[in-house]
Amino acid sequence: MRERMRLFDTAPRRVALAALAVALLAPLAPAACAANGGGTGFDGDGGNTGQGGAGQGGTGMGGDDLGFDAGNQGGAGGEGGIINCDPKGTEDDVDGDGFTEAEGDCNDCDKHRNPNAVEVPTEPGKEAFDENCDGTIDEVVVSLCDDTLALDSMDPLDGVRAVDLCKVSQGFGDWGVVSAQWTMADGSPPPLGDEVNFHLGHGLLSGFGPNIPTRKGQRFLALSSGTARQPTDPSYQSVGGFHKGYMGNHPQGFPKESPACPNTSTGEPHDVAGLEAVIRVPSNAYGFSFDFNFYTYEWPNYICSEFNDFFVALLTPIPPGQSDGNVSFDSLGNPVSVNNSLLEVCGCPGNPPNPCLAGDKTFQCSLGNVDLIGTGFGFDGDDGMDHASTGWLKTQAPVKPGDQITLRFAVYDSGDGGLDTTTLIDNWQWIAKPGTTVGTAPIPK
């Protein structure tokens, strides 16, 4: 077991990490065709800039209670779902969306309106439509699927519900969750003989300490290389040293070393916890987003060491232009790990938030250390010092309408299982705007 070091230099240093903001490339979309029957908010202008912007199409950084990204709705000049057409018989599928009028298509000239679509909230001043053809326009859908979930549920579908992906697919042609399973980082099953400790690594929490409520609904998913629990929860073990005793394999494309830590090699995965879901995409969705918050006990003493714990979000099919499916990154394009540049919830001895030196890197700790209180990662933990988290971040990624995707979340220790890392995941949303790109950015407080 590693000894915990308690002292570190707090002298001011030149900032060695890049700025927090992530700039996402703006999409280039073809012009919409003229149409009969009106638009649905998909023929919009605007891009994914990483910073948002009212009236510009947004970034996927907004949100609403409908589980859809309101920052990616209409305008004029983007890719549309409507076509020049002359609706024919009730058995014809003129717009090619897979549904005929006899099968419930309420506008066979618009591929974004059919029973496999998800309802999109209407922007002020825009015409409202019934995207999912259920007879109601902009029905209010409040996420209630996670309000009765048990903290220690063994059902992987409950883990997906805690992320606010509530709808279960009823078969081909119906969007929603197809299946879910608890998994290791490489997609293999939980380790035989270590199932009890493995399942302590996932939890459906109602909060994390007194200052971290859920982002949406009543629960969020926690994955941990220790116990996915608050210190006040049953079965909690200190994140300062709960070694669960099993190892795993790196996921495809890993390990990835941080350029900010030359001559450092990441250790083998230990104490892995993961959840994988197979999902059918709505016929009018071009992307998705989720929020996450990464906590690590390895900060500050093991920055730029082999103990480089990871959080990964692995998407299949792999997004265009990527060598692997990981869609969550820091501001430098590196995976989310102990060596990521977004660790801004932290504090140094004295009067936080002071800049902190860790592993010869300067951390500004711009978000202070209040969000560490009561989590086990703060000065109220075992060793009387602060560790660190990223604060809430939002990842977005592209999908093809109607496609089937697999998304695997995983957390693991590297090098040993001695000091733990926990990630909170919540607030799943579909994105309606074509041109969604992969990116991660901080969520303003």
Q: What CA–CA distance (Å, rounded) separates 273 from 184?
A: 6
User: Mean pLDDT, to the nearest integer, of 373-389?
Assistant: 87
Reply yes or no on whether the pLDDT at 61 is more than 80. no
Tell me the range of 90-94, 143-147, 324-328, 339-343 where mean pLDDT is highest: 324-328
pLDDT of 17 higher than 60: no
pLDDT score of 144: 75
- Residue in 176, 47, 36 with CA at minimum distance from that of residue 113: 36
The pLDDT of residue 36 is above 60:
no
411-433 pLDDT tens trace: 999 998 889 999 999 999 999 88
Residue 205 — very low, low, confident or very high, per pLDDT cuts 50/70/90? very high
pLDDT at 197: 96
7 pLDDT more than 70: no
Query: What DSSP character marks residue 71?
Result: G
Q: Higher confidence at residue 89 or residue 371?
A: 371
Residue 60 · residue 430 · CB < 8 Å? no
pLDDT exceeds 60 at position 222? yes
pLDDT the model gives residue 350: 62
The predicted structure's pLDDT at residue 85: 78
Q: Report the alpha-carbon distance of residue 325 to residue 316 in Å, rounded.
A: 6
**Is pLDDT above 90 for 361?**
no
Among positive and negative, which fits the CA dihedral 248, 289, 40, 51?
negative
Greater confidence (353 vs 115) lies with 115
Give me the pLDDT at residue 422, please: 98
CA dihedral sign, ordered 213, 298, 407, 56: positive
3-state SS class at 196: helix
